[in-house]
Amino acid sequence: MPKQVLICDDEETLTWSLARSLSHDREIYEVTTVNDGDTALSELERHPYDVVVLDIRMPGMNGLDVLLHIKEKTPATKVIMMTAYGSQEIKEKARARGSMYYLEKPFEIEQLRGLILKALKEDSSRGFAGSVSGLHLADLIQMNCLSQMTTALFVEKGDRKGCIYFEDGQITHAEVGAIEGEEALFTILSWSTGVFKFVGGMKSPKTSISTNWEYLLIEGMRRADEMSLALERGDIHDADVAPVDESTRMLVKNLSSLSECAGIAVVRSEDDVLYQSGTITKEVDVPAVAGFFVNLPDILGELCTRRPRRVSYIDQGRLVIVCPFKIFVVVMLFKKSALPPDVLQTIDRLIQRYEA
């Protein structure tokens, strides 16, 4: 039995032409066309469709509204978005994630035909679940921006919660715990699963992001891809995710990217190592080092009336740096015996940034 494809575009001549050209594949799929979002929803209520082709900008109900309805009611339905807006690089990256397809106008009929055939074969088991399921965050962000919507996108992954605010299609603010702005947005984009919901018309309490949304989306997906690659290589593991607050998590992530860093540990007390990565626990007695650092004022007496900002020592050609951070102690291991002054300044700057 042929599959079912629905095409929705407000240009009647375009939908007529597409239906006629795609009729050559009638043994594989049948095409139905409509010219507005409301009619598309009525058609979707009456019949199940395997693939829906949507123009993103239409009078009245736009493509995003129809998309959200589809993903809420029938998340397995594949969606192809037709748009004359947005970056081709974003579309390519988002398409590679297998969640949605993008087709930029004007296009050749063979391009659409190829996407329809690919979508009919695509596995739809991946994606976020929630009030709307089967989408990836990159899709949601791009759809909000292209539709020039004002809304808030709330995202949860386990015990971590974040929010991205849009105003007239621009990303104006993002927050995860104590982290705000672009770093918060990149953090949310790194989550591969979770639950989300929209609150339409909700404006941001502040403006912390002014960068173009296309750049932010490309950069966020690049960082997420790097993290995924590191997981695949075994450089990091799911168990390495620190059970600490978001600002401490971001500090660890940034410190880990420093050259020659062989591992980091976050310690709350001598018997409570919250996080560890790399080879640090194999080469450093982390609890003992942290305990010594915490008790240093008592050990040195009048020579050290308060806890120092940073302590370091060299062990067999490797440098160990110990720093206070909030209620924690951060222990870092480097493969060299000395670091350039600018790296040490970066460590201090990162601690001050995320401690605020």
If asked whether residues 303 and 343 sit together in one domain, one would say yes
Q: What is the pLDDT of residue 222?
A: 75
If asked whether residues 225 and 242 sit together in one domain, one would say no
Q: Which domain holds residue 184?
A: 148-231
If asked whether residues 108 and 153 sit together in one domain, one would say no
Is residue 99 scored above 50 in pLDDT? no
In a domain, 7, yes or no: yes
Is residue 49 scored above 80 in pLDDT? yes
If asked whether residues 225 and 247 sit together in one domain, one would say no
pTM of the model: 0.45
If asked whether residues 177 and 281 sit together in one domain, one would say no
Q: What is the pLDDT of residue 244?
A: 57
Q: What is the pLDDT of residue 43?
A: 93
If asked whether residues 35 and 95 sit together in one domain, one would say yes
Number of domains in the chain: 3
Span 77-82, mean pLDDT? 86
Q: What is the pLDDT of residue 129?
A: 46
Span 92-116, mean pLDDT? 72
Is residue 6 scored above 90 in pLDDT? yes
234 pLDDT tier (thresholds 50, 70, 90): low
The CATH number given to whatever domain includes residue 300 is 3.30.450.30
In a domain, 112, yes or no: yes
Of 36 and 354, the structure prediction assigns the larger pLDDT to: 36
**Nearest Cα to Cα of residue 310 among 300, 295, 321, 320:** 321
Of 190, 210, 231, which residue constitutes the final position of a domain? 231
Q: What is the pLDDT of residue 63?
A: 78
Render pLDDT for 113-141 as a digit per residue (tens, 0 to 9).
998 998 888 654 444 444 444 557 777 78
Which of 235-239, 254-258, 305-309, 319-323 shows the lowest per-residue confidence on average (mean pLDDT)? 235-239
If asked whether residues 112 and 162 sit together in one domain, one would say no
Of 331 and 269, the structure prediction assigns the larger pLDDT to: 331
102 pLDDT tier (thresholds 50, 70, 90): confident
In a domain, 138, yes or no: no
Q: What is the pLDDT of residue 186?
A: 85
The CATH number given to whatever domain includes residue 94 is 3.40.50.2300
If asked whether residues 242 and 224 sit together in one domain, one would say no
In a domain, 140, yes or no: no
Span 166-187, mean pLDDT? 86
Q: What is the pLDDT of residue 232?
A: 54
Alpha-carbon distance of 88 to 132, in angstroms, equals 25
If asked whether residues 170 and 251 sit together in one domain, one would say no
CB atoms within 10 A of CB 113: 17
Alpha-carbon distance of 190 to 204, in angstroms, equals 22
Of 231, 266, 281, which residue constitutes the final position of a domain? 231
In a domain, 167, yes or no: yes
Of 201, 231, 261, which residue constitutes the final position of a domain? 231
If asked whether residues 115 and 157 sit together in one domain, one would say no
The percentage of residues in the chain with a pLDDT greater than 90, rounded to a whole number, is 19
